[in-house]
Amino acid sequence: MLSHWLFYAVMFMNQGGIDKLGNTVIVNPGPLFNGYYANVSVHEDGTVNAELNKL
């Protein structure tokens, strides 16, 4: 569990990231005012695809 906390600390200090905790997908694209955003698709079968992008 410590590795998840370390990842979250790095994720929020840097630009962003994608992680999965159990069945939950966690997406932090980073600050929009710097042009960062995420595209998230949830499919009928329950799968989730997330992609980080920058304007």
Decide which of 40 and 10 is more confident: 40
- In total, how many domains does the chain have? 1
CA 21 to CA 4: how far, in whole Å? 9
pLDDT at 27 over 70: yes
Query: Residue 55: its pLDDT value, please?
Result: 92
Q: How far apart are alpha carbons 34 and 7 in whole angstroms?
A: 21
pLDDT, mean of residues 28-45: 88
Compute the mean pLDDT over every residue in the chain, rounded to the nearest whole number: 76
Range of the domain at 13: 2-54
Place of tokens 């499919």: 43
Q: Is the pLDDT of residue 9 over 70?
A: no
Q: What is the pTM of this model?
A: 0.66
DSSP letters, 1-55, are -HHHHHHHHHHHHSS-EEEEETTEEEEE---GGGTEEEEEEE-TTS-EEEEEEE-
**Count of positions (residues) in the chain:** 55
> Mean pLDDT throughout 22-37?
85
